[in-house]
């Protein structure tokens, strides 16, 4: 799996280099994008999307997304209060934990590396073995270099915490089962935020400190400060013509959002749309011709790999109602300054 992933990245790098592109570097500026310079965009009626004339390139014809098991295999989780992993599970089962019906013993799950890779956070309830906190789940922080770990948010208070994403190398956004949000610092712990999102279920996509959420028939982009206040700034807002945004990704400079739109929740048809947050323009991207089964495909995920391109994953069937395979494509458009020069919310 790792070899396959590395090969795909190598092909992508060569393809983008041939177009004069360079891999994204970790931005260092926190300037606001053009859309925020004059305040949030005023809501208007959804416009008919224009059609982009960019270029699709097939990166992998039988794509399988990497799993987190690879990460678990390479990072050693230290003992906790004298318990190694085996002793933890023995103790949990003695207390009535059950791997099928719950409560579930969790040694280390949902691991997320920080941007540079010094830290990793993961979910565990190894500090929640004492009653009545069996349902608690904590967030542990491991310093990969030193092997030292600490608890950022402890489920011993009865809550179940999870990490949403790293904002930079020192801050991360976390939430609990009641959708309370917390700004965590690797050195100084966590503070609870006023709810940063207007939608109940949070964002449909994020990139570092920048988030996009669907609020009814609008898309809203916000930025969360990492200065200890957790202040929220609305950067852009625009209506869209459809029912549900399934997933989205944000360009490095924050100006463009590429998202997958399901116009009718009763239909599997999905559309790839590019939102210019500075102008509010929505551009519908014609899908590529699939390597196999191009008449029976659907976009399922989008993420920016490089500053010049968005990568879109398609699920493809050889015939209707027949299990198929996934294909990974990149989309570039020279007319759109996706790489940009303004970076915000992505550096320290």
pTM above 0.85, yes or no: no
Residue 167, domain member (yes or no): yes
Specify the pairing of strand 297-306 against strand 282-285: unpaired
Compute the C-alpha angle 294/18/314, nearest 5°.
Answer: 20
In a domain, 337, yes or no: no
Residue 227 lies in a domain: yes
Lowest mean pLDDT among 131-145, 168-182, 238-252: 131-145
Measured between its terminal Cα atoms, the distance across the chain in Å is: 32
Our count of domains for the chain comes to: 1
Question: Over the stretch 143-155, which tens digit does the pLDDT of each residue have?
Answer: 999 999 999 999 9
Tokens of residue 264, six digits: 């009718």
Nearest alpha carbon to residue 124 among 95, 79, 173, 161: 161
- The band of 135, judged by pLDDT with boundaries at 50, 70 and 90, is confident
Rounded to whole angstroms, the Cα distance separating 139 from 152 reads 6
276 within domain boundaries: yes
- Three-class SS state of 343: coil
Please give the Cα distance from 99 to 88 (Å, whole number): 13
Higher-pLDDT residue of 323 and 59 is 59
Highest mean pLDDT among 8-22, 28-42, 53-67: 53-67
Residue 343 maps to a domain: no
Residues whose CB is less than 8 angstroms from the CB of residue 286 and which lie 6 or more positions away in sequence, other chains included: 51, 52
Whole-angstrom Cα distance, residue 221 to residue 205? 10
Residue 160 DSSP class? B
Q: Which domain holds residue 85?
A: 2-332
For residue 102, is pLDDT > 80? no
Evaluate if residue 25 carries a pLDDT over 80.
Answer: no
Does residue 20 lie in a domain region? yes
Give the domain CATH number at 158: 2.130.10
What is the pLDDT, as a whole number, of residue 317?
A: 83
Q: In the predicted model, is pLDDT for residue 325 greater than 60?
A: yes
What percent of the chain stands above pLDDT 90? 52
SS3 of 30-66: the string is CCCCHHHCCCCCCCCCCCCCEECCCEEEEEECCCCCC
Contacts of 157 (CB under 8 A, 6+ apart): 133, 136
In a domain, 103, yes or no: yes
Phi, psi of 15 (to 5 degrees): -65, -45
Which residues have a Cβ under 8 Å from the Cβ of 50 and sit 6 or more positions away?
A: 281, 282, 283, 284
214 lies in some domain: yes
Decide if 75 contacts 144 (C-beta within 8 A): yes
Q: Is the pLDDT of residue 303 over 60?
A: yes
- What are the two backbone dihedrals, phi and then psi, of residue 190, each rounded to the nearest 5 degrees? -135, 150
SS3 60: strand
What phi and psi values does residue 232 have, to the nearest 5 degrees?
Answer: -110, 130
């Amino acid at each position: 799996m790792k070899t396959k992933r590395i090969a795909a990245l190598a092909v992508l790098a060569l393809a983008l280099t041939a177009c004069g592109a360079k891999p994204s570097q970790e931005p260092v500026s926190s300037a606001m994008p053009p859309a925020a310079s004059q305040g949030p965009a005023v809501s208007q009626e959804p416009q008919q999307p224009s059609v982009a004339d960019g270029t699709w390139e097939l990166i992998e014809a039988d794509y399988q997304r990497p799993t987190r098991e690879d990460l678990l295999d390479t990072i050693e989780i230290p003992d906790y209060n004298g318990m190694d992993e085996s002793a933890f599970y023995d103790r949990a089962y003695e207390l009535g934990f059950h791997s099928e019906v719950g409560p579930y013993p969790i040694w280390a799950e949902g691991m997320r590396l920080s941007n540079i890779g010094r830290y990793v956070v993961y979910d565990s309830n190894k500090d929640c073995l004492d009653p009545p906190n069996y349902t608690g789940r904590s967030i542990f922080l491991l310093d990969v270099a030193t092997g030292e770990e600490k608890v950022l948010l402890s489920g011993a208070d009865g809550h179940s915490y999870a990490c949403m994403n790293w904002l930079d190398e020192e801050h991360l956004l976390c939430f609990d089962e009641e959708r309370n949000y917390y700004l965590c610092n690797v050195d100084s712990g966590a503070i609870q935020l006023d709810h940063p999102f207007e939608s109940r279920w949070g964002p449909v996509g994020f990139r570092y400190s920048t988030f996009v959420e669907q609020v009814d028939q609008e898309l809203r982009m916000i930025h969360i400060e990492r200065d200890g206040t957790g202040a929220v700034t609305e950067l852009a807002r625009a209506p869209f013509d459809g029912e549900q945004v399934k997933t989205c990704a944000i360009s490095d400079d924050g100006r463009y959002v590429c998202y997958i739109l399901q116009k009718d929740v009763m239909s599997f048809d999905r559309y790839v749309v590019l939102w210019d947050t500075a102008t509010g323009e929505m551009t519908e991207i014609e899908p590529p011709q699939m390597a196999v089964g191009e008449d029976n495909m659907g976009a399922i995920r989008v993420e920016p790999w490089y500053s010049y391109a968005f990568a879109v994953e398609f699920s493809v069937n050889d015939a209707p109602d027949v299990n198929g395979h996934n294909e990974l494509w990149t989309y570039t458009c020279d007319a759109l300054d996706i790489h940009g020069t303004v970076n915000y919310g992505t550096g320290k």
